[in-house]
Structure 1
Amino acid sequence: MNATDRTPADLLRSALATDPARPLVTFYDDATGERIELSVATFANWVAKTANLLQNELSAEPGDRVALLLPAHWQTAVWLLACSSAGVVADVGGDPAAADHVVAGPGEFEAGLACSGDRIALSLAPLGRRFPTPPAGYADYAVEVPTQGDRFQPYAPVDPELPALIVAGAEYTSAELVERARADAAVLGLTGPGSRILSALPYDTWEGLSAGLYAALATGGSVVLCRHLEQLGEDALAKRIESERVSATAR
């Protein structure tokens, strides 16, 4: 990673320039048996398409607030970086009524209707499948995102000193986020490029977001993001840690 990187989007661009083929996010859902691995290049492509959806289709402007009513999931990670790319504020678990746009997953659709702006629904089904019928009042992310462009250019440069993330009531600028993620990496045991952390922490705290995405991104590492890990026995967990070449854990 470059010392000049000051936003999460900068970190992703540096990762893409350095080693686009390496894994960045490996996601497990132990309730469904899903496993999906995204290289830096694949993850960045999802981010670019989602950022184009935000900017071009939802007309999201820098400073707009996007309530993310989503669990720890690879698609949530994509939305976090897409928000950073477009300069909008990702409000994790935020109040939909106070948001300009809302992105919701199963169990959150009714709450998300309080948002008067655009509403995007994610099925969170394996491989990001479409809904048979989208929830009332929502557009289906899996329908909307494939047609978006593979390259993203914000209309205006993202200011690292402006708010970028709200989680657990705390607000962070892009620069603060990157600085904290770099500091957390050493504490979490991420020693640099090639480090690989397994995280089962939810995304509703800074600690969960850092362990489950930002710290690895800030140090050239990668994350094995696990949902419903409590359904996995200790022997199976030990095998996963070995097979995924995990060097640190957060759970």
Structure 2
Amino acid sequence: MNATDRTPADLLSSALSADPGRPLVTFYDDATGERVELSVATFANWVAKTANLLQDELSAEPGDRVALLLPAHWQTAVWLLACASTGTIADMAGDPAAADIVVSGPDTLEQARACRGSRVALSLRPLGARFPQPPEGFADYAVEVPGQGDRFVPYAPVDPEEPALIVAGREFTGAEVVERARAEAPEIGLTGPGSRVLSGLPYDTWEGLNAGLYAPLATGGSVVLCRNLDQLGEDALDKRVESERVTVIAR
């Protein structure tokens, strides 16, 4: 993290320069038993590929609205940073009919069809696997993203004062996301590098997004992001906290 960082994409770039090998996002789905750990470098690579997909294949431009009909998931975190990298607006659980692009999980495909622009579908299967049968009218993310470039350069610099995120009806600029993430990190319990938050909060509120992505990124910390955490018993949770070296829990 540098004091000059003004956008979430800047925060990721600083994290990549500082320590590319450290864990950034560890994801659990307690309904399936899935566990995925992404280092800063691996996460940044997914972000770059997704940003190239947005910019080059989907023709996204700064200011375009991208409706993200996705749960708290490591691939959702990737899309949030890809939007920040391209200057598009990540609209969490946004109205697909009002969006230029929609990105949908398997449970919201019918809702997503209201988008008249490009549609991308994520299977959310373990290891980012493809759909067994691609949904009609959607590009399968797992098919499209592997061939994208590993480095991303936006066609135009991202303006930190332009809208970057909409969540729960509230709009934030990129600079506001960074400033608020930094300011609220101590309230969550993230005090700097080495801090590790376990979050079971959904991504449809600012609190969930901040604990589950932005605050760890802004402080040099990391997140253990848990989907379906309510299916995990207290004893198993205690073991996870210990094994993952969690310093604070948000749920």
The answer to whether the aligner puts 1:149 opposite 2:149 as a matched pair is yes
Contiguous gaps of at least 5 residues in structure 2: none
TM-score, with structure 2 as normaliser: 1.00
Hey, what's the Cα distance between the residues in 2 that align with 1:134 and 1:112? 15
Hey, what's the Cα distance between the residues in 1 that align with 2:24 and 2:57? 27
Aligned length, in residue pairs: 251
TM-aligned CA deviation for residue 114 of structure 1? 0.3
Corresponding residue of 1:26: 26
Corresponding residue of 2:13: 13
Question: Which secondary structure does the structure 2 equivalent of 1:153 belong to?
Answer: coil
TM-aligned CA deviation for residue 107 of structure 1? 1.1
TM-score, with structure 1 as normaliser: 1.00
Corresponding residue of 2:58: 58
Q: CA RMSD in A?
A: 0.4
Hey, what's the Cα distance between the residues in 1 that align with 2:114 and 2:134? 17
Hey, what's the Cα distance between the residues in 1 that align with 2:162 and 2:196? 30
TM-aligned CA deviation for residue 133 of structure 1? 1.1
TM-aligned CA deviation for residue 38 of structure 1? 0.0
Corresponding residue of 1:45: 45
Hey, what's the Cα distance between the residues in 2 that align with 1:37 and 1:184? 25
The answer to whether the aligner puts 1:124 opposite 2:137 as a matched pair is no
Question: Which secondary structure does the structure 2 equivalent of 1:81 belong to?
Answer: helix
**1:132-160 residue CA offsets vs partner (Å, 9 max, x unmatched):** 11111101000000000000000000000
Partner AA of 1:177 in structure 2: V
Question: Which secondary structure does the structure 2 equivalent of 1:91 belong to?
Answer: strand
**1:186-222 residue CA offsets vs partner (Å, 9 max, x unmatched):** 0000010110000000000000000000000000000
Partner AA of 2:90 in structure 1: A
Hey, what's the Cα distance between the residues in 2 that align with 1:242 and 1:156? 44
TM-aligned CA deviation for residue 83 of structure 1? 0.2
Question: Which secondary structure does the structure 1 equivalent of 2:164 belong to?
Answer: strand
Corresponding residue of 1:195: 195
Corresponding residue of 2:186: 186
**1:80-112 residue CA offsets vs partner (Å, 9 max, x unmatched):** 000000000000000000000000001100000
**Structure 1 residue ranges, 4+ long, deviating more than 2 angstroms after superposition:** none
Corresponding residue of 1:171: 171
> 1:84-123 counterparts in 2 under 5 A?
84-123=84-123
Identity of aligned residues (%): 80
